[in-house]
Structure 1
Amino acid sequence: MSISTIITAAGKNSRMRKDQISRNLVLKNKLILPFNNKTVLETTIDNALSANTDECIVVLGHYASEIMDAISDNYDGSVKFVKNNSVDVGLSTSLFNGLSNSNSDYALCITGDQPTVSTETFNRMIETIQNSENPEKTISILRRRKTGLLDTAEGLGMPFVAHRKNLMGYLENEDDNLNPILRKIFADGYVFYGIKEKNEKELLNINHYEDYLNLLD
């Protein structure tokens, strides 16, 4: 079972920019804000590279040049950076682009602003798929509500592990956020397992500047 990590890092950064403007701060993409002596994105990449996967693909779009300039480690040979053909696309299109650049059976799908999710948690998500009776129709996801077998599609989001080609079938020709797509997959009878976080900060999404301050706390 081969597994690729797909990290989406192509967003508009609009909520963070709005917060930075309101606080009279220098405008800076949230993915290149400092965290643990690295950037947010580098920390996410490093945690993913330590997981039990075969390759790592990072999808860029908005602010691609700014992000690449801020990455101190060029990850030569360990990370493949790909760019969306158009920057004005939804998360589903970015993820599809990353998946299209892989030949693996399964994909660990992460957003670039999830530096708090540990390698240990990624590996638990992967192991859940590996131990599933029907891995092609199973998705393991960092829980937002319940853990274990999920009986509702509420709160679904990244990170998650899924069968690459099956996921691409749902993403193709879509240009949307992932939540409605994951709900459709759930409605089609896929088994979803919620994986418990290692600590509370793993559930933190860095959308606003206050989220970033909570990250540093």
Structure 2
Amino acid sequence: MSISTIITAAGKNSRMRKDQLENNLEVKNKLVLPLNNSTVIENTIDNVLSLDIGECIVVLGHYKDEIIEAISKNYDDNVKFVVNDPVDVGLSVSLLNGLQNTNSKYALCVTGDQPTVSTETLNNIIDTLLNADNPDNTVSVLRRRKTGLLDTAEGLGMPFAMNRNNLIEYIKNENDNLNPILRRIFKDGYEFWGIKEKNELELLNINHYKDYKHLLDIH
């Protein structure tokens, strides 16, 4: 297949950990919190595996042992786990480590704490990229403000899809968050297409405990 998916699951969990301590809750990584009879990370992986993709790569770092131990499903045949070394690196390094473990022409990049982004929306992101006039000069991304052809990359993040080798060139010497890199890509003339969410919950990132609680209340 011409497209693979990178799921980043290597973060410090600092905001969730702080909330849990302040509320006298058991301290657990947000990715292993229960959701839909499994965990947050497993819901994200399952949504990705429902896509017509070449492979799925999950990048681990902080709390890698806790995350691996919490995954009860058998992903041996269709998920490759990659571990950051060292672990204390920025999101761009996690992405790079994932991208360097695949040879697909295009990459869909997702964070592990986005279990609410449906397979339908992820497919729309992929289809918009592959059907673009010039896919190699296009970034297809879940919208934050406007939809369609965008006039700014401000506030954008994952999930998004673009040419794998081109993305590697932008992040190979970086140790940073994603948005500054996307802004630079936009400045260099790439077309950015904002994809509308299926529902408001798809825009939710589980950073704080209140985000997780809101997700549980909806479900």
TM class by shorter-chain length? over 0.9
What CA distance in whole angstroms lies between the structure 2 residues aligned with 1:156 and 1:137?
A: 17
Structure 2 gap ranges (5+): none
Residue 190 of structure 2 corresponds to: 190
**1:61 equivalent in alignment to 2:61:** yes
The one-letter amino acid of 2:117's match is V
Q: CA deviation at 1:155?
A: 1.5
Q: CA offsets, 1:44-72, max 9 Å, x none?
A: 00000001211000000000000000000
Structure 1 gap ranges (5+): none
Q: CA deviation at 1:85?
A: 1.1
TM-score by length of 1: 0.99
What CA distance in whole angstroms lies between the structure 2 residues aligned with 1:212 and 1:197?
A: 19
Aligned length, in residue pairs: 217
Q: CA deviation at 1:154?
A: 1.3
Residue 129 of structure 2 corresponds to: 129
Q: CA deviation at 1:130?
A: 1.2
What CA distance in whole angstroms lies between the structure 1 residues aligned with 2:17 and 2:206?
A: 12
Residue 172 of structure 1 corresponds to: 172
Describe the SS at the equivalent of 2:82: strand
The one-letter amino acid of 2:95's match is L
Q: Over the residues paired in the alignment, what is the CA RMSD in angstroms? A: 0.7
Q: CA deviation at 1:74?
A: 2.9
Percent identity between the aligned chains? 72
The one-letter amino acid of 1:200's match is E
**1:89 equivalent in alignment to 2:89:** yes
Runs of 4+ in 1 over 4 A off after TM superposition: none
Residue 75 of structure 2 corresponds to: 75
What CA distance in whole angstroms lies between the structure 1 residues aligned with 2:103 and 2:6?
A: 12
What CA distance in whole angstroms lies between the structure 1 residues aligned with 2:162 and 2:24?
A: 41
Q: CA deviation at 1:214?
A: 1.0
What CA distance in whole angstroms lies between the structure 1 residues aligned with 2:73 and 2:81?
A: 13
**1:152 equivalent in alignment to 2:176:** no
Q: CA deviation at 1:78?
A: 0.6
Residue 46 of structure 1 corresponds to: 46
